[in-house]
Amino acid sequence: MKKISSLILASVIGSMITFGVFYSFDVFDGKTLKIEHISSTGGNGAVLAMDKKGDLRPLDFTDIADKVMHSVVHIRSTQTGAIADQISQGQLPDPFKRFFKNGPFDDLFGPKYHFESPRVQKMPNLKMGSGSGVIINDEGYIVTNYHVIKDADDIEVTLNDNRTYKASVMGTDPSTDLALIQIKEKDLTALPMVNSDDVEVGDWVLAVGNPFNLNSTVTAGIVSAKARNINILKDRSAIESFIQTDAAINPGNSGGALVNLQGGLIGINTAISSPTGAYAGYGFAVPSNMVNKVVEDLLKYGVVQRGYLGVTIRGLDGNLAKVKDLELTEGVYIDSLMENSAAQKAGLLAGDVILKANGIDVRSAPELQEVIARYRPGDTVDLLIDRKGKEKEYEVKLKNKEGNSELIEKENTDMLVLLGVELEDLDKETSRKLDIEGGVKVKKLHAGKLKRHTGMKDGFIITKVGGERLKDKDQLIDILENTNGGVMLEGFYEDYPGVYYYAFGL
């Protein structure tokens, strides 16, 4: 029988940009056996696997691959930029030129008013990316990687049957490199999530995605390791506890599925480690338990509710154990505790070694981070710690990053997502400096109506909507939610003279 060196699981990753390290991840419950000769099936060299009943069966991926392919989509993102040559002093958006230019409104508004952003003579500068996504319910919700759709002005989703849709961003979590998007379609084939804690090193897995725009590519391999931290996410509060696989990961597979041999989703393919940017045998995926928590929070709260222990930690190893004179060589060592943190209030001390969190062994810092990331502020986590050779149990009530146990207040995110904007009220000092009352500042523009249909830029201060003066962002959102038709926003930029108007439809 021919020796099978390895069955590679291809989990392909991210947008078509080479990062040097890229993103990727699933599992099988039984042991895999290699049989030298099987007279009743297919002859020599057959590979069998033991099912949950203990029966041997041929290792066949065809049914699983067919099932999973219908739940994995191809995502194309487009980002539109512009090169500015000079400052605009009265440029009108094309749809409104025939109404406003050289007409009666010229005398009404006067030459100091502007109907466009402070830019003119724009040269289009398109950036296009490609990745994958996984349908998680029949209402059109799709999970992908944040880096696949980051700053995209247009997101296009193609199903396995070649149907194509425009997608909207419903929420993002840069800390885990996850994003939730939605298409307007129902009765889709969703992929069920399974408990990623049940994944074991050596389990068979399949990776499905769209590497190099090769639609619905399926590859196979095994789980090589768990709880990997490869320091690829640049977010300050990044949480990395990847499932590692020997799947072939390439640009375009980011956001794709890593599944077990029952077709259950165990991870979202996210990254690869490679000196060339192409497959080198090391792929990484976000575990499904973390994916499930992020998705639930985005759907329910609009933001991810994250609980914190309030400690600085590092994984315990032989060297650290020797320095700290510890008998243990596994666990999570607490270097320090923040003032008034959840851990401090519960009674933990610097020098404690965390062994378990809610009954789950945590032998490294990424494992602890992954477990804690499943809980929200106000949730209680039971920690088993070692303190100078004696085990103790503590009940810790997690806090948010503000230092209390309250959930982050849910903003009305639906309208903000539709517009693709982050807003903030003007503080008193800024209002006094600009000599205005009220007003709402555009903190950041993302993919959405404002970026797609207007020339608005970050930093625009909205003073009126439809002629009505604004006090705060809640008033603005309330007006927009009760508007059906055209909207006119009036305001200005701190660094440019005059008043600007932006019109769009709802």
pLDDT confidence of residue 418: 80
DSSP 213: G
For residue 267, give both structure tokens: 């991870």
Distance CA 283, CA 270 (A): 8
DSSP 111: T
Give domain 311-397's CATH architecture: Roll (2.30)
For residue 408, give both structure tokens: 């982050």
Beta strands 380-387 and 496-505, pairing class:
unpaired
**Which is nearest to 72 in space by CA: 211, 166, 224?**
211
Q: Can you give the C-alpha Rg of the chain in angstroms?
A: 27
CATH topology assigned to domain 413-505: Pdz3 Domain (2.30.42)
75 and 135 in contact (C-beta within 8 Å)?
Answer: no
Distance CA 49, CA 378 (A): 44
Q: Is 63 a catalytic residue?
A: no
Helices (DSSP H) in 85-127: which residue ranges?
97-100, 104-109
400 and 309 in contact (C-beta within 8 Å)?
Answer: no
Say which residue the tokens 């499904």 belong to: 288
32 and 204 in contact (C-beta within 8 Å)?
Answer: yes
For residue 261, give both structure tokens: 């041999």
| Amino acid at position 18, single letter | T
**Which is nearest to 153 in space by CA: 416, 415, 419?**
419
343 φ/ψ angles, rounded to the nearest 5 degrees: -65, -40
CATH topology assigned to domain 1-83+122-303: Thrombin, subunit H (2.40.10)
286-312: buried (b, 16+ CB within 10 Å) or exposed (e) per residue? bbbbbbbbbbebbeebbbbbbbbbbbe
447 φ/ψ angles, rounded to the nearest 5 degrees: -65, 130
Q: Region of 325 please: left (phi>0), alpha (psi -120 to 50) or beta.
A: left
Catalytic residue, from 15, 74, 77, 147: name it.
147
DSSP 467: T
Distance CA 215, CA 162 (A): 10
147 and 16 in contact (C-beta within 8 Å)?
Answer: no
Beta strands 113-114 and 496-505, pairing class:
parallel
Bridge-partner residues for 461, per DSSP?
441, 492
pLDDT confidence of residue 161: 94
Q: Write out the E strands in 174-301.
A: 178-183, 204-209, 217-228, 242-245, 257-259, 265-273, 283-287
371 and 358 in contact (C-beta within 8 Å)?
Answer: yes
For the chain, the distance separating the N- and C-terminal CA atoms, rounded to the nearest angstrom, is 66
Q: Tally Cβ neighbours within 10 Å of residue 415.
A: 20
pLDDT confidence of residue 46: 55
**Cβ neighbours of residue 498 closer than 8 Å, sequence gap 6 or more:** 89, 112, 113, 114, 492
* CA-to-CA separations, 270 to 6, 30, 61, 173, 177, in angstroms, rounded: 22, 25, 22, 13, 8
The helices-and-strands tally (H runs, E runs) of the chain is 12, 29
pLDDT confidence of residue 231: 81
Catalytic residue, from 26, 29, 153, 177: name it.
177
For residue 235, give both structure tokens: 């977010």
Q: Tally Cβ neighbours within 10 Å of residue 10.
A: 27
Say which residue the tokens 């590692």 belong to: 244
Distance CA 51, CA 204 (A): 12
* SS3 (DSSP) at 504: strand
pLDDT confidence of residue 125: 62
278 and 40 in contact (C-beta within 8 Å)?
Answer: no
Distance CA 492, CA 506 (A): 22
**Which is nearest to 268 in space by CA: 208, 308, 219?**
208
pLDDT confidence of residue 51: 63
Q: Is 177 a catalytic residue?
A: yes
pLDDT confidence of residue 34: 40
For residue 370, give both structure tokens: 């992954």
Q: Is 147 a catalytic residue?
A: yes
Identical fold for domains 311-397 and 413-505, yes or no, is yes
pLDDT confidence of residue 181: 96
For residue 310, give both structure tokens: 């309030």
Provide the CA 78 distance to its chain's centre, in angstroms: 18
Per-residue pLDDT of the chain (506 residues; tens, 9 = 90+): 433 333 333 333 333 333 334 333 333 344 444 434 333 333 345 567 666 677 776 778 899 999 999 999 999 998 765 333 333 333 334 433 333 344 433 333 333 333 333 333 344 567 788 999 999 999 999 999 999 998 888 899 999 999 999 999 999 999 999 999 999 999 899 999 999 999 999 999 999 999 888 888 999 999 999 998 888 876 667 888 999 999 887 888 999 999 999 999 999 999 888 777 767 778 999 999 999 999 999 998 888 999 999 999 999 999 999 999 999 999 999 999 999 999 999 999 999 999 999 999 999 999 999 999 999 999 999 999 999 999 999 999 999 988 888 887 765 667 887 888 989 998 888 888 888 888 999 998 887 788 878 889 999 999 999 889 999 998 998 899 888 788 999 999 998 888 999 998 87
For residue 93, give both structure tokens: 């958006």
Domain boundaries, the chain: 1-83+122-303, 84-119, 311-397, 413-505
Provide the CA 73 distance to its chain's centre, in angstroms: 16
pLDDT confidence of residue 52: 60
Catalytic residue, from 15, 24, 71, 254: name it.
254
476 and 460 in contact (C-beta within 8 Å)?
Answer: no
